[in-house]
Amino acid sequence: MPTNNEIAKILSETADILEIQGAIVFRVRAYRNAARVIENMTDKLSDIVARNPDELNSIRTIGKTLHDKIIEFCETGKVEEFDKLKESLPPGLLEMLKIQSFGPKRVKLVYNKLGIDSVNKLEEAASEGKIRVLPGMGEKSETKILKSIRDFRTLQTDRKPWAEAEEILQNYLGYITKIDGIHHIQPAGSFRRCRESVGDLDILVTCNENAGGIIQHFAEYPEVLEILAQGETKSSVVLKSKIQVDLRVVKPESFGAAMQYFTGSKEHNVALRALAKDKNMKLSEYGVFQNDESIAGKSEEEVYNAIGLDWIPPEIRENRGEIEKAKNHTLPNLISLDKIKGDLHCHTTHTDGSASLPEMAAAAKKLGYEYIAITDHSKAVTIAHGLSAERLLDEIMEIDKFRGQNPGIYIFKGIEVDIMADGSLDLDDEILSKLDFAIAAIHSRFGMNSDEMTERIVRAIQNPYVRCVAHPTGRLIGERIPYEMDISKIISAAKENDVALEINSSPHRLDMNESFTFQAREAGVPICINTDSHSPDGFLNMRYGINIARRAWCTEDNIVNSWSLGKLKSWFKPPKEVVQCELF
């Protein structure tokens, strides 16, 4: 069954093709809106279709035509009309759409006027100065197109984002477990280590008998596109969603050793084997052996203990110093979802959120949170209907009133204030002083050079009311590369001014990434894990940010939104003491 992401993708590609072909605006918009709604849904559309297709009618943005297409896709794995549409266009046009700032209108323009139908041809034409003659284009556009093409090539990857892989895996596991005889079934590999993307999925199964039947059943999954290998205890397939899945069947007595081995990382395993060797032991996927006798293997804990180590959480098995810590019993006590007490970045209907302030508060309370911060956009983000000082005052009043109704969750007054090109903020200090804190963020002028961008962000950090920088590098996964900046200078400015850096948990952002977070944590910078929710469902993305934080060795001390309400209130107390940083 297709995932919501896959359904959304096919709808939005249809919208693109229709637009290139010059279809009427309403038709294009219908596909695009439906794609956006489906992408953000938590219920699985394919489950709804399997249960009762009529339920699709209750989803506002799905009209009759789309209704039928979704059912066709869920039932047959394709949409005939979409395939026909796709065939009617040169395939390179769709690839050109993936170039930043190159929407359907521009694709249509260069195709109709110059016959350009691939990224390569576009690159050639731009470097030969042939684009500048087109309406609305100039020399600058050509430079921009060439840079975008370079970025596009950087973003091309065969790896799947973790969240997407998870959905595919859950469906597969649901199918695999229908066969009798399985004891344990566990994902391993980079998925278990919660890397932000995975190359392929690895699954381990234990059973006492019927290994052959399990392998057979695994390969008969209707979503399998191709069987790459099939043996007595292992199989590899490629799914229709273009991801490889490796299955291993092992005996229960070596499950721990196999989990350890197939979880990796390879670098961690190599170091572990060397350590075992030093102790005259042998570590393999079957167990730990001393004089050819198995001394451990059933559980991972047993395996680690046998070679003198504490059990190491999968997320930090990267040979970055964790083995030494496991030897000395000083492994960090990693942050986890249950330790999160609130979310410090979300939006409401005051700007581009889809739920009201009380609805967002109720959703957060339902998750067991003690507090949230309402941080709508500021006026520079016109597309989100950002707040002027006057409208922010209205929101502040609403929060005061809401607090008076004892909602059972504490509401911090915040703003996601835009950082202007020169590093000043979109709202002045007078209005910011009426808030508990401001989150500073960039939503424009992404193309500055590293020095300019670094200075811009550092200036924002030095504002007395700013306590956090949101999505610090601006990347959008698969769409936009991080802006250029000097990460170490941002980290030291944040440290000196006691300003938090955000791990934005949206699966489209995951920003900071793990290496930036690792450096920030080592420098002692406070870190917020926020969802940037625009709807109640958005709060559920917190776990993706937790993955990043755990991989970066973060503990409760490092994560601001695991602190108690009292501690947070006294930390926020504006204005903060500002430390001017030397930049150059």
- Residues found near ligand DGT in the complex (CB under 6 A): 189-190, 198-200, 202, 261-262, 264-266, 269-270
- 200 counts as binding Ca ion under rule CB under 5 A: yes
Q: Which is nearer to Ca ion, 202 or 511 (CB)?
A: 202
Number of residues that bind Ca ion (CB under 5 A): 5
504-542: b (≥16 Cβ within 10 Å) or e: bbbbbbbbbbbebbbbbbeeebbbbbbbbbbbbbbbebb
Residue with tokens 């700007």: 351
Q: Which is nearer to ligand DGT, 200 or 352 (CB)?
A: 200
Residue with tokens 């050079």: 449
Q: Residues 202, 315, 502, 511: which binds Ca ion (CB under 5 A)?
A: 202
Q: Which is nearer to ligand DGT, 72 or 285 (CB)?
A: 285
Report d(CA 148, CA 156) in Å as an integer: 12
What letter represents residue 265's amino acid? S
- 376 counts as binding Ca ion under rule CB under 5 A: no
- 220: nearest Cα among 48, 212, 165: 212
Report d(CA 5, CA 355) in Å as an integer: 22
Cβ–Cβ under 8 Å, residues 224 and 239: yes
Q: Residues 187, 189, 474, 507: which binds Ca ion (CB under 5 A)?
A: 189
For 148, phi then psi, to 5°, come to: -60, -35
277-306 footprint of Ca ion as x/- string (CB under 5 A): ------------------------------
Contact region for Ca ion (CB under 5 A) — 90-98, 194-202, 522-530, 544-552?
A: 194-202
Could you say which of ligand DGT, Ca ion, none residue 270 binds, taking C-beta under 5 to 8 angstroms by partner kind?
Answer: ligand DGT
Q: Which is nearer to ligand DGT, 12 or 260 (CB)?
A: 260
Pair of tokens at residue 161: 């984002």
Cβ–Cβ under 8 Å, residues 504 and 317: no
What are 500's strand-pairing partners? Answer: 468
What secondary structure, in 3-state letters, does 203-233 show? EEEECCCCHHHHHHHHHCCCCEEEEEEECCC
Report d(CA 77, CA 56) in Å as an integer: 18
Contact region for Ca ion (CB under 5 A) — 27-35, 183-191, 496-504, 545-553?
A: 183-191
From the CB of 315, what's the least distance to ligand DGT, in Å?
12
Q: Which is nearer to Ca ion, 534 or 551 (CB)?
A: 551
CA atoms within 13 A on the CB side of 374: 31
The side-by-side arrangement of strands in the sheet containing 371-377 is 342-343, 371-377, 410-418, 437-441, 466-469, 500-504, 527-530
Could you say which of ligand DGT, Ca ion, none residue 269 binds, taking C-beta under 5 to 8 angstroms by partner kind?
Answer: ligand DGT
- 514 counts as binding Ca ion under rule CB under 5 A: no
Q: Which is nearer to ligand DGT, 152 or 261 (CB)?
A: 261
Q: Which is nearer to ligand DGT, 50 or 274 (CB)?
A: 274
What letter represents residue 322's amino acid? E
Report d(CA 539, CA 345) in Å as an integer: 10
From the CB of 584, what's the least distance to ligand DGT, in Å?
39
Residue 421 CB: number of other CB atoms within 10 A? 12
Distances (CA, A) of 203 to 86, 268, 269, 468: 35, 19, 18, 39
Could you say which of ligand DGT, Ca ion, none residue 266 binds, taking C-beta under 5 to 8 angstroms by partner kind?
Answer: ligand DGT
From the CB of 529, what's the least distance to ligand DGT, in Å?
23
DSSP element (H, E) containing 441:
strand 437-441
Q: Which is nearer to ligand DGT, 202 or 532 (CB)?
A: 202
Q: Which is nearer to ligand DGT, 190 or 533 (CB)?
A: 190
Contact region for Ca ion (CB under 5 A) — 101-109, 151-159, 192-200, 534-542?
A: 192-200
Could you say which of Ca ion, ligand DGT, none residue 264 binds, taking C-beta under 5 to 8 angstroms by partner kind?
Answer: ligand DGT
By CB under 5 A, the residues from 232 to 251 that bind Ca ion are 246
Q: Which is nearer to ligand DGT, 202 or 376 (CB)?
A: 202
Cβ–Cβ under 8 Å, residues 190 and 199: yes
From the CB of 247, what's the least distance to ligand DGT, in Å?
12
From the CB of 234, what's the least distance to ligand DGT, in Å?
12
Question: Is 574 strand, coil or helix?
Answer: coil
Which residues of the chain form contacts with Ca ion (CB under 5 A)?
189-190, 200, 202, 246
